[in-house]
C-alpha cells in the first residue's frame, strides 16, 4: 500500500496507521479522508490483520481538525460532499470486523475528535486535548461528531462540548467517558498495540460479532438487541474457532484460532 498522507506499519497481526501531515498538525483534507477510507477497505479483506491502531505522526497532534483553508471556499454542495466522505469513512471503521483503537497524543479537535470517536475506543496520552470547536467557525461537526459524541458521553455533555467549543484535557475526557485510558506520551502507542495484540489473540469471528452486536444494538430496542446477541452467540457454535477455543480451554493450552 502506497499512500502520500499515511504511514502504515504491520506488527504481527496489528496494523498501525499514522496520519502523516505534521506540518499541518495532521489536518484532514479530502486526500487524507480518501486514503484512510482506502486503507480501511484494504485492511477489511486482509487475512492476517486482526487489529488496527490509528494515530498521528509527530508529537503535537493526533488530528488537529479538518483543513480550514481547504473548507473556507466551499459552497453547500461542496460541504455536503466533503461531509459525506467523512461519514463514509466513519461507517467503514464501524463496519470493519476487527477492533479499531485510536491512540491520541496531542490535539484531537473537530474532525480529529470525530475520527477518534469513529474508532471503537480511544487511548490518550496525558498531553491529549479533545474538542468540537466548529461553532467558533459558524458551523457544526460534519463527520458524525454530534451523534457519536451523544452516544459516547450522553446528550447533556455532548451539547455542552459542541455548543461551547470547549477544549478539554485528557483527564477530563477520561472522567466523562470520552476516552478509555490515559497514559504517559512515551507509553501511548505501546499501550494501544498491547491491547490490540490481546484482542488479536482472541477468536476473530467472535471479536467481529462482539463489535457488530454492540454497534448495531446501540440503536435498537433492548429486546431486539438481546435477540441479535442470542442469534450471534448461537451462530458461532457452527465455527471451527468455537470448537478450538473450548477444546483449548479444557486441555489447558493456548487456542489456535483461524477465523473459521
Predicted pLDDT at 205: 97
Backbone angles phi, psi at 120, to 5 degrees: -70, -40
SS3 65: coil
Residues 160 and 188 grouped into a single domain: yes
- pLDDT per residue, tens digit, the chain (260 aa), is 789 999 999 999 999 999 999 999 999 999 999 999 999 999 999 999 999 999 999 989 999 988 888 899 999 999 999 999 999 999 999 999 999 999 999 999 999 999 999 999 999 999 999 999 999 999 999 999 999 999 999 999 999 999 999 999 999 999 999 999 999 999 999 999 999 999 999 999 999 999 999 999 999 999 999 999 999 999 999 999 999 999 999 999 999 999 99
Q: In this structure, is residue 145 part of a structural domain? A: yes
Predicted pLDDT at 252: 97
Q: In this structure, is residue 114 part of a structural domain? A: yes
Catalytic member of 114, 160, 216, 229 = 114
Alpha helices in 48-154 (DSSP H): 68-71, 76-95, 111-118, 145-153
Predicted pLDDT at 67: 84
Residues 124 and 242 grouped into a single domain: no
Residues 93 and 130 grouped into a single domain: yes
Which tens digits make up the pLDDT trace of 230-245? 999 999 999 999 999 9
- Annotated active-site residue 134? The verdict is yes
For residues 20 and 35, is the Cβ–Cβ distance under 8 A? no
Predicted pLDDT at 25: 95
Catalytic member of 38, 134, 160, 172 = 134
SS3 190: helix
- Annotated active-site residue 114? The verdict is yes
Predicted pLDDT at 59: 87
Q: What residue numbers bound the domain in which 103 lies? A: 6-200
Please tell me the distance from the alpha carbon of residue 260 to that of residue 257, in angstroms, as a whole number.
8
Q: In this structure, is residue 83 part of a structural domain? A: yes
Q: Tally the C-alpha atoms within 13 A of residue 38's C-alpha that lie toward its C-beta.
A: 13
Instruction: Output the nine-digit C-alpha cell for 37.
Output: 477510507
Please tell me the distance from the alpha carbon of residue 256 to that of residue 249, in angstroms, as a whole number.
11
Residues 141 and 230 grouped into a single domain: no
Predicted pLDDT at 244: 97
Strand 61-63, strand 100-104: pairing: unpaired
Q: In this structure, is residue 256 part of a structural domain? A: no
Query: Whole-model pTM?
Result: 0.95
Predicted pLDDT at 139: 96
Residues 186 and 233 grouped into a single domain: no
Identify the domain boundary among 185, 200, 215.
200
Amino acid at each position: 500500500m502506497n499512500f502520500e498522507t499515511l504511514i502504515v506499519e504491520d506488527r504481527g497481526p496489528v496494523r498501525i496507521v499514522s496520519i502523516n501531515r505534521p506540518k499541518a498538525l495532521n489536518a484532514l483534507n479530502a486526500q487524507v479522508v480518501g486514503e484512510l477510507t482506502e486503507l480501511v477497505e484494504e485492511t477489511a479483506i486482509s487475512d492476517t490483520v486482526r487489529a488496527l491502531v490509528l494515530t498521528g505522526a509527530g508529537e503535537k497532534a493526533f488530528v488537529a481538525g479538518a483543513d480550514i483553508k481547504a473548507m473556507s471556499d466551499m459552497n453547500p454542495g461542496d460541504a455536503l460532499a466533503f461531509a459525506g466522505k467523512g461519514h463514509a469513512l466513519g461507517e467503514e471503521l464501524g463496519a470493519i470486523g476487527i477492533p479499531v483503537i485510536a491512540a491520541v497524543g496531542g490535539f484531537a479537535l473537530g474532525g480529529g475528535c470525530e475520527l477518534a470517536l469513529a474508532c471503537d475506543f480511544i487511548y490518550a496520552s496525558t498531553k491529549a486535548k479533545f474538542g468540537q470547536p466548529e461553532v467558533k467557525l459558524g458551523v457544526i461537526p460534519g463527520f458524525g461528531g454530534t451523534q457519536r459524541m451523544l452516544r459516547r458521553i450522553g446528550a447533556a455533555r455532548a451539547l455542552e462540548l459542541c455548543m461551547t467549543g470547549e477544549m478539554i484535557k485528557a483527564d477530563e475526557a477520561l472522567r466523562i467517558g470520552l476516552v478509555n485510558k490515559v497514559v504517559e506520551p512515551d507509553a501511548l502507542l505501546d499501550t494501544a498495540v498491547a491491547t490490540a495484540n490481546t484482542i488479536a489473540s482472541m477468536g476473530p469471528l467472535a471479536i467481529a460479532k462482539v463489535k457488530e452486536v454492540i454497534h448495531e444494538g446501540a440503536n435498537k430496542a433492548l429486546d431486539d438487541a438481546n435477540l441479535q446477541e442470542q442469534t450471534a452467540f448461537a451462530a458461532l457454535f457452527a465455527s471451527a474457532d468455537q470448537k478450538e477455543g473450548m477444546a483449548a480451554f479444557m486441555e489447558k493450552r493456548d487456542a489456535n484460532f483461524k477465523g473459521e
